[in-house]
Structure 1
Amino acid sequence: MEKTSRLHLFEGYGVELEYMITDQSSLDVRPIADVLLRNAEGEVEGEMDHGLTAWSNELVSHVIELKSNGPTGDLVALRDKFVLDVRAINRQLVTNGAMLMPSAAHPWMNPAKETKLWEHESQEIYQAYDRIFSCRGHGWSNLQSTHINLPFYDDEEFARLHTAIRFMMPMIPALTAASPVLDRKFTGYMDKRLYYYEKNQSKIPVLTGKVIPEKLFSKYAYQKHVYDRIAAAIKPFDTDHILKPVWLNSRGAMARFDRGAIEIRIIDIQECVSADLAVVALVTGLVKLLVRETLVRFDVQETFETEDLYDVFKSCVKSGSAALIQDPTYLSAWGYDQPVTGRQFWADAIQKVSQALPEYLMPWLETLNQLNAQGTLAERIMTALNGDFSEEKLKETYSKLAQCLHQDQLFIP
């Protein structure tokens, strides 16, 4: 959400979608994002304006990002434009024998051999990351995610928004896990992307923390406890003084005071744009109800320590919608008196948001109910594979995912 004027809570939404570029036949990754980012003179640019949306590069050259071109209040219009963008990109890629493929990780990419960092605008930043962290691994060069940017105006709004997001975000993987397969086998996790997300910068632990952000309620406190600590920690490694703390902050929800927004980063990309935007609508709707204290009082939300929320998060990362939430204090805050599965939690959340915000959620309700009934994309991928991780079966399943993306249809095995 680069082009952000100072907005109040929920006056606009910034959405970013990352997709991998793969060969149409083999489905191997193709590092050719630069063919999509050339201006009329044939020069490669890091970002191309496409009206309501923009296309931009990422760390690696086989990933393209589609994003709202500044904040928007109309998620339906944004969905429709993203669908057109996906199809336009596929039309461009077909001349190179390539196409877009969804899901949060490529099932057989070998990052050590196939990683190609972006070599154009801002390449010095990516080279610095690679030198410090070695970006040729899962979690660095093999991942795709959805980001939601939600605005805040001042410290009071920041405190409300940050508290609500950190309180609910442990449950997100139970809705969106989409990375069960790496290296042609089941990883043991429904959301292996987030497993790596926590660990890929472990050389400097302060950058990511516990993924779930700390309890912080003001710009001053955030600067002191996050950005100043990051600046001090990176100094011995960033000898060329290239990397800024605001770029390095990798918490699952990051405060961007330069934009006046909090960016949620732990959502795995789904199989199609309609699924992604339905998730965006549900997550932001739930955050809105928490900010309003419709579901849980603010003084209750703010009591939860990061470690306690992290334990819930880990369970959802591993098991997706089958995760059994057992923390009695967390359950009680949501109004439960006994353990619930991630799927039940989100079924209830859909109902609560649709009742409180009926016009807002109506365009997404059918899609959300289908997604909840079928389970996370990770679980649907595993159902489709049915224990068969052969090249043939993997190609068959992920080819269907690519078709779902182009046709904007849900993947129902």
Structure 2
Amino acid sequence: MKYHLFEVFGIELEYMLVNFLTGKVQPSVDKLMKLKTGKIISDVDNGPIEWSNELAAHVVEFKTNGPAKDLDTLDIKFYDNILEVNKLLNGANLRLWPTASHPLMNPELEMKLWQHSYSEVYALYNRIFDCKGHGWSNVQSMHINLPFYDDSEFEKLHAAIRILLPILPALSASSPILDGKPTGELDSRMKLYLTNQKQIPEMTGKVIPEQVFSQKEYQKKIFDPINSAIAPFDEDHILEHHFLNSRGAIARFDRNAIEIRVLDLQECALADVSIASFIVEILKDLVNEIYSSLKDQKLWHEDVLFEILNLSIEYAEEAVINNKAYLKLFGIDAESMAVKDIYKHLFEKIFSRLNKRHSEAIEFILAHGSLSTRILKALNDDFSEVNILKVYQKLGDSLSKNELFLP
């Protein structure tokens, strides 16, 4: 079934399983599935939310079980599932942890691929890319799926998403620590994303999708080069181009949706769904040409947008955009502006359209900074293993209470 713009939504949230006592990642998603259903399976239909395995055996994904009609109560539905999983895992000293990366994981030693159904696809990825690095084994994100009905709607939605994509990591960064120390980027997950598939660069491109605004054009400029590049590695034709496309927003013509993939996972479902709601309202205004015309939005080459993306990845909300023409796309007349102030400007325009709980959550983030900023503040320059685990246990508590984290 096809849907029109913003008629329905799909949200995916990825969490890591850790040992409650040690904080170490545990490749036990198969154990979780067995505790829930009595057998090891890849997907659990749990009413409005579905559970799925991921490539790494310690990562479980929760996603809307089919299109959701609205986002207003979706975080509560995710939260109910988080509580259920933590209760199931309690006897095994396991719990879910949030954020986009484990701060102490050693992927060379601790990475384990999912070994059950669909494992041949993961094994092929591992042969091509060697999935033991942080960029494959230590990443959790939120994906937002937004529908389009036809080429005309795809054109508008893809143009709007391409414009907003470069500053999304500034809102959602939650991965400042790897290997027990700050990486220098507030969004380390996205920094890894840029080079994760360097063996086949056609898969990721510049992360910002190319200027393509129809299905035919997308096939020619994005899918065909991907299919040609992967062919020597995939002799058995296991992989499919919709899954191989790894740009920061990917067109899923198999289900008439665009999937946004540049968002780090937050500390609780309330934060994730609030960010998704905020993004949706901004995109509605861009699609409706409130700030800038569709023609102007389509003019932007991915190379220019990529430069802004890099700033967001490194500095998150403190990134300063010195591009007057880009700011003008959001109705801002200024020579330069910090991304946090771009978001404050946009929030003033749309806050009344948000659910009150979501509006308050965005207000909190804009006041206290991205989760990466708050994590670093909580660590207070003490990067000892004991202190890192203490802070991340508190983040686990935020997840289990559905509360935003304040240092």
Structure 2 Cα separation of the partners of residues 232 and 73 of structure 1: 38
> Where does residue 33 of structure 1 map in the other structure?
29
Cα separation, partners in 2 of 1:41 and 1:272, compared to 1, 3 Å: closer
Equivalences for residues 53-72 of structure 1 within 5 A: 53-72=49-68
Counterpart pick for 1:372 among 347, 351, 366: 366
Cα separation, partners in 2 of 1:361 and 1:78, compared to 1, 3 Å: closer
Structure 2 Cα separation of the partners of residues 40 and 295 of structure 1: 48
| TM-superposed deviation, 1:336 | 2.7
Counterpart pick for 1:279 among 269, 275, 278: 275
Structure 1 Cα separation of the partners of residues 306 and 133 of structure 2: 24
The answer to whether the 8 Å contact 1:353/1:361 transfers is no
Counterpart pick for 2:92 among 87, 90, 96: 96
> Where does residue 42 of structure 1 map in the other structure?
38
The answer to whether the 8 Å contact 1:10/1:151 transfers is yes
Letter in 1 for 2:70: D
Cα separation, partners in 2 of 1:41 and 1:339, compared to 1, 3 Å: closer
Structure 2 Cα separation of the partners of residues 26 and 391 of structure 1: 11
> Where does residue 249 of structure 1 map in the other structure?
245
Letter in 2 for 1:176: S
Equivalences for residues 103-114 of structure 1 within 5 A: 103-114=99-110
> Where does residue 393 of structure 2 map in the other structure?
399
> Where does residue 412 of structure 1 map in the other structure?
406
* Runs of 5+ consecutive residues of structure 2 not aligned to the other structure: none
Counterpart pick for 1:138 among 134, 140, 144: 134
The answer to whether the 8 Å contact 1:184/1:390 transfers is yes
> Where does residue 208 of structure 2 map in the other structure?
212
Cα separation, partners in 2 of 1:109 and 1:313, compared to 1, 3 Å: same
Moved more, 202-211 or 345-354: 345-354
Equivalences for residues 192-203 of structure 1 within 5 A: 192-203=188-199
The answer to whether the 8 Å contact 1:282/1:361 transfers is no
Moved more, 39-48 or 192-201: 39-48
Root mean square deviation, CA, Å? 1.1
Whether 1:343 aligns to 2:337 is no
Deviations 1:214-266 (A, max 9, x none): 01111111011111110000011112221111111000000000011000000
3-state secondary structure, aligned to 2:197 = coil
Deviations 1:247-295 (A, max 9, x none): 1100000000001100000000000010000000001111111011112
> Where does residue 310 of structure 1 map in the other structure?
306
Letter in 1 for 2:251: A
3-state secondary structure, aligned to 1:38 = helix
| TM-superposed deviation, 1:158 | 0.4
The answer to whether the 8 Å contact 2:278/2:354 transfers is no
The answer to whether the 8 Å contact 2:323/2:335 transfers is no
Structure 1 Cα separation of the partners of residues 110 and 35 of structure 2: 27
> Where does residue 377 of structure 2 map in the other structure?
383
Cα separation, partners in 2 of 1:152 and 1:108, compared to 1, 3 Å: same
Equivalences for residues 97-176 of structure 1 within 5 A: 97-176=93-172
| TM-superposed deviation, 1:359 | 3.7
| TM-superposed deviation, 1:40 | 7.5
Deviations 1:183-237 (A, max 9, x none): 0000000001001111010111110001000011111110111111100000111
Letter in 2 for 1:369: E
| TM-superposed deviation, 1:95 | 1.2
State the number of aligned residues.
Answer: 406
Structure 1 Cα separation of the partners of residues 70 and 158 of structure 2: 23
Cα separation, partners in 2 of 1:337 and 1:250, compared to 1, 3 Å: same
| TM-superposed deviation, 1:42 | 2.5
3-state secondary structure, aligned to 1:397 = helix
Letter in 2 for 1:132: I
The answer to whether the 8 Å contact 2:186/2:313 transfers is yes
| TM-superposed deviation, 1:35 | 2.0
Structure 2 Cα separation of the partners of residues 270 and 130 of structure 1: 27
3-state secondary structure, aligned to 1:139 = helix
Deviations 1:372-396 (A, max 9, x none): 1000000000001111100111011
The answer to whether the 8 Å contact 2:29/2:58 transfers is yes
Letter in 2 for 1:351: E
The answer to whether the 8 Å contact 1:90/1:98 transfers is yes
3-state secondary structure, aligned to 2:7 = coil
> Where does residue 175 of structure 2 map in the other structure?
179
| TM-superposed deviation, 1:39 | 8.1
The answer to whether the 8 Å contact 1:39/1:45 transfers is no
Structure 1 Cα separation of the partners of residues 399 and 87 of structure 2: 13
3-state secondary structure, aligned to 2:232 = coil
> Where does residue 349 of structure 2 map in the other structure?
352
Structure 1 length-normalised TM: 0.96
Structure 2 length-normalised TM: 0.98
Letter in 2 for 1:172: L
Cα separation, partners in 2 of 1:382 and 1:43, compared to 1, 3 Å: same
The answer to whether the 8 Å contact 2:36/2:88 transfers is no
| TM-superposed deviation, 1:77 | 2.4
| TM-superposed deviation, 1:41 | 6.5
Letter in 2 for 1:218: S
Cα separation, partners in 2 of 1:29 and 1:155, compared to 1, 3 Å: same
* Runs of 5+ consecutive residues of structure 1 not aligned to the other structure: none
Whether 1:292 aligns to 2:288 is yes
Moved more, 72-81 or 133-142: 72-81
| TM-superposed deviation, 1:361 | 4.4
Letter in 2 for 1:53: I
Structure 1 Cα separation of the partners of residues 163 and 300 of structure 2: 7
Moved segments of 4+, more than 3 Å: 38-41, 359-363
| TM-superposed deviation, 1:332 | 2.6
Letter in 2 for 1:337: A
> Where does residue 24 of structure 1 map in the other structure?
20
Moved more, 149-158 or 37-46: 37-46
Moved more, 36-45 or 165-174: 36-45
Give identity over the alignment, percent.
43
Structure 1 Cα separation of the partners of residues 113 and 203 of structure 2: 21
